[in-house]
Structures are given as structure tokens and as C-alpha cells.
């Protein structure tokens, strides 16, 4: 378990309709904003509502909605250029992890107007960033408190990272009402993907006495939601529970970092234009089967968090790690079966050899290593093969 170093300078707001507080919060931070989302989000009323609301704080806002499902770097470069042309002072990310990461990179690089590709895996920019506000419309923003964000290179589809300035994020607004336009299936996949990130956080060398209880509380909240049907998941109270778990996950992962399997899921999604949450969902039980190196105490806590509310995981001091892993994986597979989600990478119409090619690049990313120092390239390849 790691020693603790903790600092949260941004303001984090949670609650139904808290997004209405955004204009007042941004008052005095600038008069020009860029709202970054994707085409699907732009079809909803939320971006235009933000534009209209910001006018009340005398902030003129533009909407950039060209963030695609894969090879996002070209769109990010266009958004960086737009910040210069529009004299942007505030960048607001509105959407899923892919969109929020893109917006964070735009805020980090915008003032310097550089060539994005010069900052792949490079030093932190030496200029002051634009104000960055994260507005998740699913459940969490795992990179909000971290000092990097992922991007997919449109030239060859490889996952890359851009390192960002310290303390660039000024606020995150977790408003459950913003997720109501998402389908139950979209939320379910996002929740399974969040479970993967959280479990990897609990298994990380960088986990601590602060991150562990936060992540376990987030895991328990997501587990309860995943026992509901798609129809039940449309309820605002259920979406509020998911957003609350996402907020806790965001804080906890800000301490531990992101695990390799989660970065692999994002990399595969970005490279091949498939849903990263769907990839993370498929990988989840296989990570539990073969990769997760946490000790028995940690595994017991994970198993307990995944149990239905009020039901405790069996405690047996003679249980071996493999037995705990099996129980957790069985619980997850039961939840996936109930949700009727895809369970094989082979169903996503991407040749396995193409998937395997991305493994070396993922291992070059700043992933959060497990307590035993893993994984290796071979273990990640086996993970893909077993999930295919």
C-alpha cells in the first residue's frame, strides 16, 4: 500500500440540477467558453442549454461536437485551433470519458496552439492552461484528478497520452439528470467498465487507506445498480446512484491511477471505433480470472462490495487467492448474464491479430501497476485471447 499524498484543488459538485450552478461558478473566470461534446450529445438539448445559461453570466460559448468514437486526435487538433480563433478562456467537457479526456487535452494545449502530435508522451506544457470544467453524462471521469489524458492517434490508431499541467481542472459537475437521455444499456456498459477501473484501482500498488474505502463504496453502489433491468435503470434515482458512485470512483482513481486493462479497453475502443465500455465489460471477468494480484484481504473486501446489499461475502481464513478470484468472477459473470451484454471480443468484428498489436503501446502508457508489479505483455495478450 502506498504512502499518501492528497490534494484536490478543483470544486466538485454532485446533485440533481447542479449544472444550473455552472454559470455563477464561472463568473469572473472568462467571457468566452468552448463546450466540447460528440454528435450524439449535440442532438440533445444539453449543449444549447449550457450556451443559453452561460449568457446569464455574460459568457459567450461555442459548441464543438466533432469528437468521434475513434482516432480522436484530428478532432482534438481542430478544437485546439478553435480555442485560438475564438479567444477561448474556458473549456467545458460534456459527455463520456472519451469526450472529457479530449476536452482536458484541449484545455491543456490550447494557449500554446501547438501541434498536438508533438505532445504525445512528451513533457508537460510550460504555459498556463485554460480553465477546464468536466461535466460527465455517464457516471465518472477517471482522468479528472490525474495529470494526463488518453487520445487515439488518427494516423495509425495507436493509443497515446498527453501530460497536462498540475491543477488545471477547476470544477466537475456530477448532475444525474444529464444522464437521463442515455439508454439503460449504455449506462449498464459504462457501469461495468467503471467496475473494471475501480477493481484495478483496488489492486494497484498506489492504493491507500484513503482510496480503498472510497473505491469500495463506489463498487458497492455500482453493484446494486447492475442488478436492475434496463427499464428500472431509466429511473432518475437509479441514475443518481450511478453518478454518486462515479463521483467516488473519480476521487479514488485520482489517487490510484488507471489500471492496464482499463487503458487497454480504451485503446482498443479508440483504435477500432468500438465502444470502450463494451470492451471493458468483456475484459472484466477475464481480468478477475487471471490478472488481479490483490491479497486475500483486498479480494474479500471486493467480493463483499459486489454482493447484494445486506449480504456479506463468506469469510474463511483458509481461502486462497484463486478461490476469491473465482467467486468475484462468478458474481460478475452472473451480473453480465442478467444484463445480457456481449461477452466475447470476437463478436466485435475485429481480427484478434489487430487487437494484439496494441498491447506493447498500452504498456508504454502511465498505467497503475498491480501490487505484484504486473502485468506483462504476454499476460495482456493472454487476456485478449481468453476474452476473444
Residue 340 sits in the same domain as residue 383: yes
pLDDT tens track of the chain, all 388 residues? 556 565 667 899 999 999 999 999 999 999 999 999 999 999 988 999 999 999 988 999 999 999 987 778 999 999 999 999 999 999 999 999 999 999 999 999 999 988 999 999 888 999 999 999 999 998 899 999 999 999 999 888 899 999 999 878 899 999 999 999 888 888 999 999 999 999 999 989 899 999 999 999 999 999 999 988 777 878 899 999 999 999 999 999 999 999 999 999 999 999 998 899 999 999 999 998 877 666 778 888 888 898 876 555 555 554 566 666 777 888 888 888 888 888 999 999 999 999 999 999 999 999 888 877 778 899 999 999 999 9
What CATH number has the domain bearing residue 364? 1.20.1090.10
Task: Scan for cell 439528470, then name that residue.
Answer: 177
User: Which among 295, 264, 257, 258 has a CA at the least distance from the CA of 377?
Assistant: 264
Taking only the tens place, the pLDDT of each residue in 269-292 is 999 988 999 999 999 999 988 776
Q: Which of 178, 196, 221 is the last residue of a domain?
A: 178
Q: Do 153 and 189 belong together in one domain?
A: no
Confidence (pLDDT) at 358: 93
- Tell me which of 116, 144, 178 is where a domain ends: 178
- Cβ burial, residue 22 (10 Å; 0-12/13-18/19+): buried
Q: Domain check: are 90 and 195 in the same one?
A: no
The radius of gyration of the chain's CA atoms, rounded to the nearest angstrom, is 20
Q: From CA 64, how far away is CA 379, in angstroms rounded? A: 39
In a domain, 348, yes or no: yes
Same domain, residue pair 52 and 89: yes
Domain count of the fold of the chain: 2
Containing structural domain, residue 127: 11-178
Q: What is the pLDDT of residue 293?
A: 63
Q: Which of 131, 151, 178 is the last residue of a domain?
A: 178
CB 145 within 8 A of CB 254: yes
Burial (0-12, 13-18, 19+ Cβ within 10 Å), 192 = buried
What number of residues does the chain have? 388
174 lies in the same domain as 202 = no
pTM of the model: 0.93
* Statement to judge: residues 203 and 271 lie in one domain: yes
Ramachandran region, residue 12 (left: φ > 0; alpha: ψ -120 to 50; beta: rest): beta
**What does the pLDDT read at residue 128?**
94
In-domain check, residue 210: yes
Domain-located, residue 6: no
Both 343 and 377 in one domain: the answer is yes
Amino acid at each position: 500500500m502506498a504512502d499518501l499524498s492528497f490534494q484536490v484543488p478543483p470544486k466538485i459538485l454532485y446533485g440533481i440540477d447542479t449544472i444550473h450552478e455552472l454559470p455563477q461558478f464561472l463568473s469572473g473566470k472568462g467571457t468566452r467558453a468552448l463546450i466540447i461534446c460528440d454528435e450524439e450529445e449535440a442532438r440533445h438539448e444539453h449543449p444549447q442549454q449550457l450556451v443559453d445559461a452561460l449568457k446569464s453570466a455574460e459568457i459567450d460559448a461555442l459548441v464543438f461536437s466533432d469528437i468521434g468514437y475513434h482516432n480522436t486526435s484530428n478532432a482534438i487538433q481542430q478544437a485546439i485551433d478553435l480555442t485560438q480563433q475564438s479567444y477561448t478562456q474556458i473549456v467545458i467537457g460534456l459527455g463520456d470519458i472519451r469526450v472529457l479526456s479530449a476536452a482536458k487535452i484541449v484545455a491543456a494545449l490550447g494557449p500554446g496552439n501547438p501541434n498536438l502530435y508533438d505532445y504525445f508522451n512528451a513533457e508537460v506544457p510550460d504555459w498556463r492552461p485554460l480553465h477546464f470544467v468536466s461535466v460527465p453524462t455517464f457516471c465518472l471521469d477517471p482522468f479528472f484528478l490525474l495529470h494526463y489524458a488518453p487520445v487515439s492517434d488518427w494516423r495509425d490508431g495507436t493509443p497515446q497520452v498527453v501530460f497536462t499541467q498540475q491543477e488545471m481542472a477547476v470544477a466537475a459537475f456530477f448532475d444525474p439528470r444529464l444522464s437521463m437521455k442515455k439508454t439503460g444499456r449504455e449506462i449498464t456498459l459504462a457501469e461495468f467498465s467503471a467496475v473494471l477501473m475501480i477493481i484495478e484501482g483496488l489492486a494497484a500498488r498506489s492504493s491507500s487507506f484513503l482510496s480503498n474505502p472510497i473505491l469500495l463504496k463506489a463498487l458497492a453502489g455500482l453493484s446494486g445498480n447492475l442488478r436492475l433491468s434496463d427499464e428500472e435503470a431509466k429511473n432518475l434515482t437509479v441514475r443518481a446512484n450511478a453518478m454518486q458512485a462515479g463521483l467516488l470512483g473519480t476521487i479514488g482513481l485520482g489517487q490510484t491511477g488507471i489500471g492496464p486493462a482499463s487503458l487497454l479497453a480504451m485503446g482498443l475502443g479508440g483504435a477500432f471505433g468500438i465502444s470502450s465500455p463494451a470492451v471493458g465489460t468483456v475484459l472484466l471477468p477475464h481480468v478477475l480470472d487471471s490478472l488481479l494480484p490483490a491479497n486475500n484481504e483486498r479480494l474479500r473486501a471486493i467480493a463483499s462490495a459486489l454482493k447484494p446489499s445486506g449480504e456479506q461475502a463468506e469469510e474463511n481464513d483458509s481461502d486462497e487467492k484463486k478461490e476469491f478470484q473465482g467467486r468475484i468472477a462468478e458474481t460478475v459473470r452472473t451480473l453480465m448474464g442478467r444484463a445480457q451484454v456481449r461477452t466475447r471480443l470476437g463478436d466485435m468484428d475485429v481480427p484478434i491479430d489487430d487487437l494484439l498489436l496494441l498491447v506493447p503501446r498500452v504498456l508504454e502508457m502511465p498505467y497503475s501497476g498491480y501490487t505484484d508489479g504486473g502485468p506483462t505483455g504476454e499476460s495482456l495478450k493472454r487476456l485478449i485471447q481468453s476474452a476473444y
